[in-house]
Every structure is written in structure tokens, then in C-alpha cells.
Amino acid sequence: MGVVESRLAELGLSVPDVVKPVAAYTPAVRTGSYVYTSGQLPMRAGELMTTGKVGGEVTAEEAFACAQQCVLNAIAAVKAEIGDLDQVVRIVKVVAFIASTPDFTGQPGVANGASELLGQAFGEAGVHARSAVGVPVLPLDSPVEVEMVVEVA
């Protein structure tokens, strides 16, 4: 087990199996020294953790946990492309989409679920640029979707 996976294990987490795409795309693509992940939903054990809109049926705390699961699924997609997560040089960019009610403005706090976990897992290499975007609806009525751009050795 490498350093990154050991750090996840210390948090009581592990890299899950790669989530099967819900449409005609691949979970991640490597080009040169970059891996681009597709948007990852908060799938756990083959199903969404929850559904609905943040600020409505889904609390900000539940959405934070969903963002963590999304980023774990993105990490799994990266690992499938490169084999060893210790080959990650830098998490370059994270985009978090949050399906929320019109009056909910806490998208950055929800996206912190992904960002904080990346920092814990990858250390300084996990510090990244980020966008947190509120949207009206996501696939399968998911409350959160996360994608990443990762530089690898």
C-alpha cells in the first residue's frame, strides 16, 4: 500500500472500485501527464448515497459527505488509469456541481468535502484550483457531482 492509500486508511477510507458509467463515456482519460476524470456521482455500493436538492431534501452536511464520496470515486478512476496513486504529482483542478435550491448559497462549503479529503490524502499535492457551481439538476437526481484534472508522473 502506497502513501496516499495509507493516508486514506488512517481516515477509515479506502479506494473503491471504479464506478460503472451511467452513459456512453469512460470514467477517466489520460493524455500525456494529465488524467481527466468524468463527473463522479456519490455512488456507494452501486447506488447513490441520497437524492434531491441541497437546501431542500438534502442537508449541507449530507452533501459534504456526498462530495467526499464523489472524490473517492474520482480517485478510483485515476488509480485505474495510472496504477499507483503515489504517481500523482498534483491535483490541478476540481469542479464540484451542487444541485441546490435557488436560495442555497453554501456550494463552497459542500465542495470542501472533496477539497479537504484531497488535502488529507495527497498532502501538498492535493492543493488545487476549484470551482463550486450550483445547478438545478444532476444525473439521477444526485445532489453532487465532482470532476478532477490530475497531473501524474
pLDDT < 70 positions in the chain: none
Q: So what's the pLDDT on residue 38?
A: 97
pLDDT tens track for 85-112: 999 999 999 999 999 999 999 999 999 9
* Residue whose entry in the numeric block shows the C-alpha cell 447506488: 47
Q: Nearest 5 degrees, angle CA 17-CA 141-CA 139? A: 65
Q: Containing domain of residue 41, as a range? A: 3-152
What span, in angstroms and rounded, lies between the C-alpha atoms of 110 and 128?
16
Closest C-alpha among 64, 33, 35, 30 to residue 50:
64
Q: How many CB atoms sit inside 10 A of residue 56's CB? A: 14
What span, in angstroms and rounded, lies between the C-alpha atoms of 116 and 96?
13
Check which CATH number belongs to the domain holding 42 and give it.
3.30.1330.40
> How many structural domains is the chain composed of?
1
